Amino acid sequence: MSEQADGDEKFCHVLIIEDDQDDAFLIKRALNAAAAERKITLGVTHAVNGLDGLGSVARSDILNRLPHVIVVDLNMPLVDGDRFLSALREDLQLGGTPAAVLTTSTETPVHAKALASGANVVFCKPNTQDELVEIARRILDMGVPFRV
């Protein structure tokens, strides 16, 4: 059962942790398209590396406003995606916040390591916007039930 933000509209907050500004823009655009299809009001926060992402999650936790789902890249400066996921699960003890990895790597060991680090799912960055919107739909599904 999902909570309503305004009438029949639901709200979903997504934290994107991605160092490439173009990729972050494309992910946000796909999430917006998927959210519009489902009449979901989307809130997006963007962090440019795992360290900033950990700070964002820690602040959100203190304010009791955790994101509904986190999208994280693996290859980033300062704190990479695997270390971010490990810190999210072990140090911050936030096992209930869904995390999706979106990576250029197609290598099974890389995906397995991300899952072992705490990702719920790993997606390969697609070549088309339509494919990215499909991934965005699946990411939004991870955020259900939505919280206000």
Phi and psi at residue 21, in whole multiples of 5°?
-60, -35
In a domain, 130, yes or no: yes
Residue 9: its pLDDT value, please? 64
Confidence at residue 5, expressed as pLDDT on a 0 to 100 scale: 40
Question: Tens of pLDDT along the chain (148 residues)?
Answer: 334 444 566 899 999 999 999 999 999 999 999 999 999 999 999 999 999 999 999 888 888 888 999 999 999 989 999 999 999 998 877 878 999 999 999 999 999 999 999 999 999 999 999 999 999 999 999 987 665 5
Residue 83 lies in a domain: yes
| Tokens coding 35 | 């959210």
How many H helices and E strands in the chain?
Answer: 5, 5
Phi, psi of 94, rounded to the nearest 5 degrees: -110, 65
Name the nearest CA neighbour of 110 among 65, 145, 141, 80.
Answer: 80
- Is residue 35 in a domain? yes
Asked if residue 71 belongs to a domain, the reply is yes
Q: What pLDDT score does 85 carry?
A: 96
Give the CATH number of the domain where residue 60 resides: 3.40.50.2300
- Count how many domains the chain has: 1
Residue 8: its pLDDT value, please? 60
- pTM here? 0.89
Residue 76 within a domain: yes
3 within a domain of the structure (yes/no): no
The structure tokens listed for 14 are: 């997504």
In this structure, is residue 59 part of a structural domain?
yes
Instruction: Output DSSP code: residue 144.
Output: P
With the CA atoms of 106, 110, 115 and 121 taken in that order, what torsion angle do they form, in degrees rounded to the nearest 10?
A: -20
Q: Give the structural domain span for 103.
A: 10-142
Q: Could you tell me which of 58, 41, 56 has the C-alpha nearest to residue 2? A: 41
Q: Please report whether residue 15 resides in a domain.
A: yes
Q: Quick one: pLDDT at residue 50?
A: 93
